[in-house]
Structure formats: structure tokens, C-alpha cells
Amino acid sequence: YYRGSWSSDSSDSVISSESGKTYYRVVMIGEHGVGKSTLANIFAGLNTDCDVLGEDTYERTLMVDGENATIILIDMWENKSGDDWIQDHCMQIGDAYLIVYSITDRASFEKASELRIQLRRARQTEDIPIILVGNKSDLVRCREVSVAEGRACAVVFDCKLIETSAAVQHNVKELFEGIVRQVRLRRDSKEK
Ligand code: GDP
Ligand code: MG
């Protein structure tokens, strides 16, 4: 059990357990078909130490910069019931977000901007770590969104950009390490 250390203060986003394990609740959001579940499955399959908590939730411990981090990855944005409350819930529960688009689908890139604005509105007072993820980078000939556009968008929205390919597993490990680093950066600057 957790001895009162589940963040009692809601502005303290990182949850620490008694064992000293640090949990990061990472929520994936983005248009249908951009590759969220494929990325989540790679995350889940990366090592044997992964527990499937539920249909859309995965847990895995990564060693990042010499320190363990346990990510609880939540891929329930596209719930089958189509209930809006689940998306509202997703906007509230993340310690960090991966906003995913496909570099082959401009509409999904535009949707990513919308989601960033929605997230900012939902969590106004918080400085939430976000990575903008341009997936399907293997499909070079179908590219509709340039790296430069992705970067410009990330600058406007004050987040990081990474292009990944779930299909050829390019930059996927870097993506999850990156989100851990983003949370830590904010945690460390808060401690000062
Ligand atoms: P979701 O709706 O965001 O969860 O998207 P899915 O993970 O279900 O992926 C949608 C489709 O895109 C599937 O057919 C995947 O195989 C394919 N896909 C996902 N990631 C990639 C990628 O990086 N490259 C390519 N070529 N296809 C991908
Ligand atoms: Mg999916």
C-alpha cells in the first residue's frame, strides 16, 4: 500500500510509492489511425518486466540516465463506447502526454494542435510535459508534414518533437526515455 505518498497535492504530478519507485502516468492522445496502439504495443513488448494492467494500460520500468522510472502508459483515448467523459478523464489524469500524429496525414497534425489547446485549457495552471510525436516516419514517400513544420509547431506549443516509426521501431525507445526526462526536468526545477 502507499503510505500517503500518492501525490496529496494535485500540483505535484509525479507519484512516488513507499518503495521509492517513481511512477509516471503517460497518456497517449491523437487522431484515429496515427499509430498510438502500435507504439503502446512496442512499449509493452520491449521487455518481459511489463505488466498489462488492463486492456488499454501498460506498465513498464525503464532505466533512464541511471535511475529507474516506471511508466504507466494509457491508450484509452479511442474508447469503444465513444463516451466523451473518457476523453475528459484522459485530459485530467496524465502526468505527461504524447500527442501523436502521422507524418502522412495532415489532418492528424492539425488535430494535434487542437488537442494541445484542449489540454492547455483543461490543465491551465500546470506545466505539463508533452511530446509531439510524428509517427510513421518510415513512409517517406507519403509524407504530408515536414520535419520543419513539426518543429515549428512544437516551438509554438512549447513542447518537444520526435519523429518515430512504430513499423520499423525507430526512435520508440527514445520517445519513452524522452518523456521521463521531460517529467524529471520539471520535477528538478521545482525542487530548487
Ligand atoms: P491508433 O488508432 O492511433 O491506435 O493507430 P494504430 O496503432 O491502430 O495504427 C493504425 C495503422 O497504422 C495500423 O495499420 C498500423 O499497423 C499502422 N502503423 C502504425 N504505426 C506505423 C508506422 O510507424 N509506420 C507504418 N508504416 N504504419 C504504421
Ligand atoms: Mg488505437
Which of 7-21, 53-67, 79-93 comes out lowest in average pLDDT? 7-21
Centroid of ligand 2 to alpha carbon of 128 (angstroms) = 23
Centroid of ligand 1 to alpha carbon of 107 (angstroms) = 15
Q: What is the DSSP string of 86-150?
A: HHHHHHHH-SEEEEEEETT-HHHHHHHHHHHHHHHHHTTT----EEEEEE-TT-GGG--S-HHHH
Q: Which three cell numbers stand for residue 143?
A: 509524407
The H-or-E segment that residue 192 falls in is none
In order of 4, 24, 51, 99, 189, the CA distances from 73 in angstroms are: 23, 8, 11, 13, 24
- What is the length of the chain? 192
Mutate to test the pocket of ligand 1, among 38, 111, 162 (most ligand atoms within 8 A of CB): 38
Query: What pLDDT, on the 0 to 100 scale, is given for residue 164?
Result: 98
Cβ atoms of 180 and 68 within 8 Å: the answer is: no
> What's the pTM?
0.88
The H-or-E segment that residue 181 falls in is helix 172-191
Calculate mean pLDDT across residues 105-114: 98
Measured from CB, residues less than 6 Å from any atom of ligand 1 are 32-38, 78, 135-136, 138-139, 165-167
Residue with cell 474508447: 79
Calculate the average pLDDT of the chain.
87
Cβ atoms of 35 and 136 within 8 Å: the answer is: yes
Query: What pLDDT, on the 0 to 100 scale, is given for residue 5?
Result: 39
Query: What pLDDT, on the 0 to 100 scale, is given for residue 74?
Result: 96
Q: Is the pLDDT of residue 80 over 50?
A: yes
Nearest Cα residue to 70 out of 112, 13, 20: 20
Query: What pLDDT, on the 0 to 100 scale, is given for residue 1?
Result: 34
Centroid of ligand 1 to alpha carbon of 137 (angstroms) = 11
Q: What is the DSSP string of 29-52?
A: EE-TTSSHHHHHHHHHHS-TT-EE
Cβ atoms of 173 and 46 within 8 Å: the answer is: yes
Query: What pLDDT, on the 0 to 100 scale, is given for residue 4?
Result: 38
Cβ atoms of 44 and 52 within 8 Å: the answer is: yes
Cβ atoms of 71 and 96 within 8 Å: the answer is: no
Query: What pLDDT, on the 0 to 100 scale, is given for residue 3?
Result: 37
Q: Which atom of ligand 1 is nearest to the CA of 28?
A: 3
SS3 of residue 79 by DSSP: coil
Calculate mean pLDDT across residues 22-31: 94
